[in-house]
Chain A
Amino acid sequence: MLNIIVCYKWVLDEQEIRVNAGSMTLDTGRAAYKISDYDRNAVEEAVLLAERYGASVCGLTYGGDPVKQSLKDALSRGLDSVYWVHDPSAATADAFVTANILAAAIRKIGKYDLILCGEGASDTYAQQVAPRLAALVDIPGLTFVSKLAVEDNKAVATRKLGDCTEVCTVPFPAVVSVLPEINQPRIPSLKQVLGAAKKPMIEWRASDLELSSAEITPKVRVASLKGYAMSRKNMIFKEEAAASVTKLVASLAKEGVL
């Protein structure tokens, strides 16, 4: 039976973040948290592999207090257990720190054939954690995977790289990051939601992972975060369809884009 670790990030829902006009600061007050969209594909892929080949699947996440809410959510999606590295360092962590923490947690978990990640986090979209984990744990890493199968204790993965696809075969253990197109995450059933509370949730601190202070000190520091201003003309026609169309076509002709 395979042992799969799937990493996920608990992020603010970017659709609910508002930009304050004028100051261009971000208002995250009304934004709820969610499992990063791309990570839902990783969780779904882990569960699909378990259904197809038989596997024990555990979740792994790193973050501060709000992450507590995520545990049942993640478990309801089909994981058998979940590990949470609960540490305030997450507030300023860059990919260097995050990967160091996750790699140390993976070593501590100990049993793994496959480590699955999403293609990137939906907040930072830095796409670094999966390949960094491969380098840190010193196992092969395959990114941007659109199709994944298991054959003879190996992962057979189709990578999609803009202008080409390539089929790669790696022996376990390996790290794989999956593209959103690999599957369609299912909505947890009521039974799964109710069952989630009974599954093991293991909480660690960064200090449980035997990392040096240098390893949890970020290399990339955020200097400022501001709403992105897109200056557009915003000429919106709200008349009866034919009248709006006439005005729009006249405007486009004037812009020289017809």
Chain B
Amino acid sequence: MSGVWIYSENAAIAAQLVAPARELAGSGHSVCAVVLDQQAAEGLLTYDLHTIYKLAGDASWPESYATGIAGLADKEKPDIVLIGGTLRGKDLAAKVAAKLGAGLVSDAFAVRRSGDGIETDRLMYGGLAVCTEVTLPTALVTIPPHCFEAPATAPALAPKIMEVQVQTDGSIQVGAVCPIERQGADISCADKIVSIGRGIARQADVELARQLAEALGAELGCTRGIAEDYHWLPVERYIGLSGQKVKPSLYLSLGISGQVQHVAGIRDSKIIVAVDKNEDAPIFAAADYGIVGDLYEVAPLLAQAITNAKAK
């Protein structure tokens, strides 16, 4: 049966795929979900899906279900498969697409019907451009987490759960799974961020940014260079296309030139402020407010002025 499928190994993200899947299905098609366990199936029972395919296999590693999902899709022939764009999801999606010989659009932030297929929008060139693409069925799409909101539950018609026995890929041995210990808060959820780039000359000077962050009540972030080349802040703190994507109410950059990949990570910020001595730095085009000046002079003054303003 043709229709729209959703899959994510993360239950909350799977629910976020329901809204775009319904939109794509319209009145003529059904929405089905693929899940890997009973708990995930139950998490989706409250949405008006047609069928929930529960894959039964002997592996706990989600990526090892690529062959199973591809086999099921080959038999049931969905037109469109939406996959939650976590890193595990992207890995699995590409393996499923290869096995099906299908097209896959990565990280689409918009997806709509177009003729017999779909049209999608995604970023190119590190966030400089938007690429609109057309894919014919079977079309796979990964969608970034939190791109859509999970719809209100609609328990009118409970979907049926169908258990499917599948082969899993056992060639990869997975051991030692460790949660990543974060120092301080997760900056992807921070309300305010002070972020540093190569305009900071020495590691000791990170303190300037830290004091400004403290005055603002902000978390400290940085560019890829600061985390990966200099190791002045942990890798989890670097913001950009391949790092963290942030959406604070206030993003304040110190000594960041504004390479496109970095700007791609901050574009959902409400207010962007840039401080840099180079008037032509691209960061100013991406900023709501900016100061052209020496950050070593500006940052302490700014920290003091913010403390004063807050005290009023």
Contact present for B128 and A227 (CB under 8 Å) = yes
Chain A residue numbers with a CB within 8 Å of B127 are 228
Determine whether A132 belongs to the interface, using a CB cutoff of 8 Å to chain B: yes
Most buried by A among B98, B135, B259: B98
Contacting pair B177 A220 (CB below 8 A): no
CB of B189 closer than 8 Å to a CB of A: no
Binds A, one of B34-42, B71-79, B292-300: B292-300
- A218 vs B302: C-alpha distance in the bound complex, in angstroms? 53
Would you give the shortest CB distance from B230 to chain A, in whole angstroms? 11
Is the beta-carbon distance between A14 and B172 smaller than 8 angstroms?
no
Interface SS of B by simple majority:
mixed
A253 and B169 CA atoms in complex are apart in Å by: 56
- Complex-state Cα separation, A99 to B102, whole angstroms: 12
Q: Which residue of B lies closest to A255 (CB)?
A: B271
Main secondary structure of the interface of A (DSSP, over half): mixed
Q: What does the 1/0 interface line of A157-171 toward B look like (CB < 8 Å)?
A: 000111111111111
Task: Choose one: A131, A233, A244; the contact of B98 (CB below 8 Å).
Answer: A131
- Given contact pairs A94-B103, A96-B97, A228 touches B87 in the complex (Cβ within 8 A): no
Interface string of B216-245 (1 = CB under 8 A from A): 100000001001110000010000011000
CB neighbours of A249 from chain B (8 A): 302, 305-306, 309
> Is A1 on the interface with B (CB-CB < 8 A)?
no
Q: Which residues of B contact A255 (CB under 8 A)?
A: 270-271, 288
Cβ–Cβ < 8 Å partners of A99 in chain B = 98
Query: Who on chain A is nearest to B137 by CB?
Result: A219
In the complex formed, the residue of A with least CB distance to B136 is A219
Report the nearest B residue to A134, measured CB to CB: B95
Contact of B103 among A96, A228, A248, A252 (CB under 8 A): A96
Among residues of A, the one whose C-beta sits closest to the C-beta of B298 is A241
Q: Does A202 contact B (CB under 8 A)?
A: no
**Are the C-beta atoms of B132 and A125 separated by less than 8 Å?**
no
A95 to B139, CA, bound (A): 13
Q: Does B185 contact A (CB under 8 A)?
A: no
B150 close to chain A: CB less than 8 A: no
Provided the pairs A132-B94, A167-B176, A258-B306 are in contact, do residues A184 and B229 lie with their beta carbons within 8 angstroms?
yes
Contact of B101 with A by CB under 8 A:
yes
Tell me whether B179 is interfacial, beta carbon within 8 Å: yes
B260 contacts partner chain A, Cβ-Cβ < 8 Å: yes
Q: B241 to chain A: which residues have CB within 8 Å? A: 125
* Given A164-B177, A164-B180, 15 additional A-B pairs, CB 8 A: A14-B126, A127-B90, A127-B94, A129-B94, A140-B171, A144-B87, A163-B180, A165-B178, A167-B175, A170-B171, A234-B288, A236-B289, A241-B298, A244-B298, A248-B273
Closest 5 CB pairs of A and B: A219-B103, A135-B98, A131-B94, A14-B125, A132-B98
